[in-house]
Amino acid sequence: MKKTIFLLTILLVPVLFSQSKVNFQILNANNIRLGLQNIGNLNNRFGDGSGGGYWKMLNQDSTIVFDQGPWLIGKINNKVHLAISQWGTNYSPGPIINNKAAMQYKPEDSLKYRIYKISKGDNNTNKDYAEWPFEFGAPRTKDGKPKLYQDQTLWTVFNSYDPTTKYKKYWTDSLFVIPVEIQQLAYSKNGNSKDDIDLFSNTVFFEWTVINKGTMQIDSAYFSFWTDIDFSNALQNTPAVDSINSTGYLWTNATSLQPVVGYTLLFGPTAPSNGNKATVKGKIKNNFINLDALSFHAILDDSFIPGSINTPATSRNEAWNIVRGLYSNGKTKINPTNNKPTKLTFSGDPVTNSGWIFNNTIGSTGGGAGFNLSSGPFNLAPNDTQWVMMALVPAYSKDYKESITIMRNKVKLLKSLPYDSLAFGRKSVMVGVKEAKLIPTEIRLEQNYPNPFNPETAISYQLSAFSFVTLKVYDVLGREVATLVNEHKVSGVYEVKFNRSNLASGIYFYRLTTTTAAITKKMIFSK
C-alpha cells in the first residue's frame, strides 16, 4: 500500500511544491544521506518508492530509511490532541505566528519557511547562510552568526496548527488542531570511514525543540519518534528494542550481509525530579531528569488492518495507546517469555537469543516495518518548551549478532560523551565514569602490574576509537595460554585481571590487537 501511495505522490511533485511550498535538502556530510523536508519527514528522492535515507557503506548507496518523523501527543481539556508525521500525514511549513500557522498567517512568505543548510566554511555567498532565519528561532553564535553543528547542519521549523487537510492524508479521523511548533536540527560530521576508525562517519544527530504556542496547558504529553526503516529483504526486517539504552532498531538474518539500523534516544524530554540534573542543549537543569524511552511499538507492516496490534496508528485513540505502551487496540502487552506486562514489544536480545524476540510464527514483516519509540509523560504549559536529542546509528556485518553488537557499542560510546562533544565534536571529559578522564587519543598497552606476578596481575590498555579488540596471552613457544578479551569495545581505558596459578614459572607475552594496531609486551610469572 505505502509504495503505491508514494509513487502517486511523486508524480504530482510540481503541483505539491507550488501549492504547499514543501522543500527538502540533502544532509550528506558523511556516509549517511538523508533527504529532510520542511514538513517533518523524509523526501523520497528518487521517486521510485525507495525512501529518503541512504547509506554508502551498503552497496555504495543503499536505502536504510524510508521515512521518519516526530510526534507530540497529549491532552487539552481532557481530549487527546496529536501532532504527527507518518507517511502522507505531515506538519505545515513554518512557525506559528500571531496565533496562526505561518502558511495561514502570511503565505506570501512561504519561501522563508524552507529547510536551511549550512556547512563548515560557509559565508554569505550561501543563500541559506545569508538568510539564516534567526527570527524563527534558528540557532546563532554569541557574535550573531548562524550556528554550525558538526560539519553540516540542516535547520527548519514546522507546526501542527494548520487546519489545511492536504497535510493530513491517509489519516482516518480528526487529529484535533494542536498549537505545537517544532524546530528541527539535523547534523553530521565529515567522514567516509568505518566505525572503528571514526564513529561519527556513520552517525546523524537530530534535535527537536517543541513549543506550546497555545493558551492552554498540554497535559500528560509524550514525545514519540516514528520511523519506517527499509533495508535488505523487506520481508525479513525485524523490529527490536534495547531498553537499557533507549534504542529501537531493525535487524535481519536473511541475507549474506546482515545490517542493523537503529535510532537511540540520547537525551529525552525533561520532568521534575528533586536532587537530579537534566541536560538541555548542553546546559544543566537542576531538579529535573531526562526521561528514558517509556514504550516501544513494533510495526511489522503498513497494512492498516483493523484490530491488528503490530501496525501503525490510524487514529488519535490508537496513537494514544501506542505512546503509553499499550497495543494500538488498548490491550496490555504481555511478554510471552515470562507472562508479565510490558510496554516494550520485542525487548529480548537477538545476540543471546533470549527474551521476547520476533519470530515468523506471528507472520512476516513488510515494506512498512518500523516502530514508535516514545518518552513521557510530561506537561507542557503555554509557551513552555521541551527538547529531545536522538541519533541514527546503523551498523553492518555478515553476521547480525555482530552487527547488533557494533551498534550497541556505538550507542554506549555516544551516551558516554557530553553534549558538546556530540554537537560540536569537541574533545571533552567522558561522562559516567567514577573518575573523569580525557578521551584517549592513542592506542596503548601498559606494562602489567605487578610484574613478576603470582598468581594474579592486572593488564591495562586504552583505545582511542571504537574497535574489535583481542587481548591474548602466549608462552615463549607462541602457544596461546588465555584469551582475556575478544569483543567490540568503545574508546576508553580498560583493565583486565589475569590469574593462572597453574602456570609454569617463566616468561609470557600478552598481545593487544585492534583493527588498526597490534602491541605485544612481556611479563614474568614466578612461583
Give the span between the Cα atoms of 212 and 45, in whole angstroms.
32
Tell me how far apart the alpha carbons of residues 526 and 337 are, in angstroms, rounded to a whole number: 50
d(CA 314, CA 325): 16
pLDDT confidence band for 378 (50 / 70 / 90): very high
Q: Report the distance separating Cα 135 and Cα 92, nearest Å.
A: 18
Task: Say if residue 17's pLDDT is above 50.
Answer: no
If you ran DSSP here, which 8-state letter would residue 128 be given? H
Q: Which pLDDT score is estimated for 44? A: 67
Q: In this prediction, what percent of the chain has a pLDDT beyond 90?
A: 65
Q: For 403, list phi and psi in degrees, rounded to 5.
A: -60, -45
Q: Which residues pair with 365 in a beta bridge?
A: none
pLDDT tens per residue across span 446-477:
999 899 999 999 999 988 877 889 999 999 99
pLDDT of residue 3: 42
279-317 tens-digit pLDDT: 999 999 999 999 999 999 999 988 755 556 888 998 899
Q: Are 202 and 57 in contact (CB under 8 A)?
A: yes
* pLDDT for the residue 428: 36
Torsion of CA 263, 264, 265, 267, to 10 degrees: -120
Among the ranges given (73-82, 140-149, 491-500, 501-510), the one the predictor scored with the smallest mean pLDDT: 491-500
Tell me how far apart the alpha carbons of residues 366 and 232 are, in angstroms, rounded to a whole number: 11
Q: Residues 332, 326: contact at Cβ < 8 Å?
A: yes
Confidence at 235, pLDDT banded by 50, 70, 90? confident
| Interval 178-218: pLDDT, tens | 999 999 999 999 988 877 677 899 999 999 999 999 999 99
Q: Among 45-49, 51-55, 70-74, 223-227, whose mean pLDDT is lowest?
A: 45-49
Mean pLDDT of the chain: 87
Report whether the peptide linkage leading into residue 350 is cis, meaning its omega lies within 30 degrees of zero. no
Q: Where is pLDDT greater, at 61 or 60? A: 61
pLDDT at residue 436, rounded to an integer: 32
pLDDT (0 to 100) of residue 505:
92
Tell me: pLDDT of 399 over 90.
no
Q: Give the model's pLDDT for residue 11.
A: 30
Strands 444-445 and 480-489: unpaired
Q: 302 or 157: which carries more pLDDT confidence?
A: 157
Q: In angstroms, rounded to a whole number, what is the distance separating the alpha carbons of residues 149 and 140?
A: 11
pLDDT band at 364 (very low <50, low <70, confident <90, very high): confident
pLDDT at 16: 35
Q: For 100-125, how does the pLDDT look when each residue is reduced to its tens digit (9 = 90+)?
A: 999 999 999 999 999 999 999 999 99
Of 6 and 117, the structure prediction assigns the larger pLDDT to 117
Residue type at 322 in one-letter notation: I
Tell me which residue of 384, 42, 32 sits closest to 184, measured CA to CA: 42
Domains of the chain and any CATH numbers: 2-424 (no CATH), 444-525 (2.60.40.1930)
pLDDT at site 492: 78
Average pLDDT over residues 145-154: 98
Specify whether the CB–CB gap between 400 and 40 falls below 8 A: no
Is the pLDDT reported for residue 333 higher than 60?
Answer: yes
pLDDT at 434 over 90: no
pLDDT bracket for residue 493 (50, 70, 90): confident
